[in-house]
Amino acid sequence: MLTFCCKSVVLKRLLRAVWLMMFASIALQAQEKRPSPSDDVLKIDTDLVMVEVTATDKRGNYVRNLTAEDFRLFVDGQQRKIDFFNVTQETTASRPLAVVFALDLSGSLKPDEIGTLRTSALKFTELMKGESVFAAMAFNYEVKVFQEFTPEQKKIERAFAKMEEFGGSTRIYDALDKAVLMLSRRAHFSKSNKPLRRIVIVITDGFDSSSMVDSRELIRRANAAGVTVYSVTLPSYILSASRNTERVITPLDASRIVTATGGRDFAADARDFGPVFKALAEEIRASYGLAYYPEMRDGKQHDVRVEPVNSGFQLRTNRTTFLAPSK
């Protein structure tokens, strides 16, 4: 009987030792898989409210070299501290971008003009090089994404080359809504923790005919995602009454989607898109990024406004509201 008890105790001790060895092995493996503090782990702070600002003088020239002290930020009418301030360098676009190219294939652009557009768009991506990423979509009676976000120019070039189906109705607002959704799913920061600026560049004649989304809802969604919409307006087949060089006002203009998101319209000559994309790059380089951490955690919509300290220049901002985080 004593011998049996001794054997039982020894067996229990042996099983316990084996169990401890297995536990230590599992714990060691888990520790090896866990990233160390030195690993490149992206920390995303979605609470940060970014406001993109472009400053111009009375003649429309960009005002550069401003500091955070040149701006006042208000939330629901109350002035708040600016927690983050970024200036995009004039010579190099140090601020990373997330850009969606949205091309109208409903008949506004001829197939042989796509090559000119592709060359100019690729030059733009070269000017905005760095940590920026680009995506490409096209729209007519449907909205189709040809390339998800990528830093590779070759992929964007191939995406433009695939855009061959022309004609049909036009769904500009639906395309912009899709682009805003794509951008809203992107991280707020790049891998080096620099805040991404979210941009849509829509190339169109500005005449929507079959979109499902309402323009006011589109503005709300774009503001919530901090997206700026720039339009490149193609020569319209509708002549203005005065027959001068000014183009007619389009439904896209009337919807105020571009201005309500802090963007700007660029009139294009389909024979040469180079000057347009060069001017667009200059516009982006002249921008400022302001941000603050909201105190409220009510999940509600709040007003945000940026004013210049000096009354000698005007501001364009990409949003007038933001959605506060919930508890």
Structure tokens at 189: 């920061």
Axis crossing angle, helix 114-127 with helix 153-161, rounded to the nearest 10: 160
Instruction: Quick: pLDDT tens for 94-148.
Output: 678 999 999 998 876 777 778 888 888 988 988 887 789 999 999 999 999 999 9
Domains of the chain, by residue range, sit at 50-88+298-323, 97-285
Closest CA to 124 of 38, 232, 34: 232
The fraction of the chain above a pLDDT of 70, given in percent, is 80
Model's pTM, two decimal places?
0.81
Q: CA–CA separation, 86 vs 181, rounded Å?
A: 25
Choice among 65-74, 77-86, 198-207, 242-251 with the minimum mean pLDDT: 242-251
User: Amino acid letter at 66?
Assistant: L
- In angstroms, the CA 218 to CA 214 distance is 6
CATH number for the segment(s) 97-285: 3.40.50.410
Is 185 within 8 Å of 226 (Cβ atoms)? Answer: no
Q: Strands of 215-284 (E only): list them.
A: 227-233, 265-267
pLDDT in tens, 156-172: 999 998 887 777 788 99
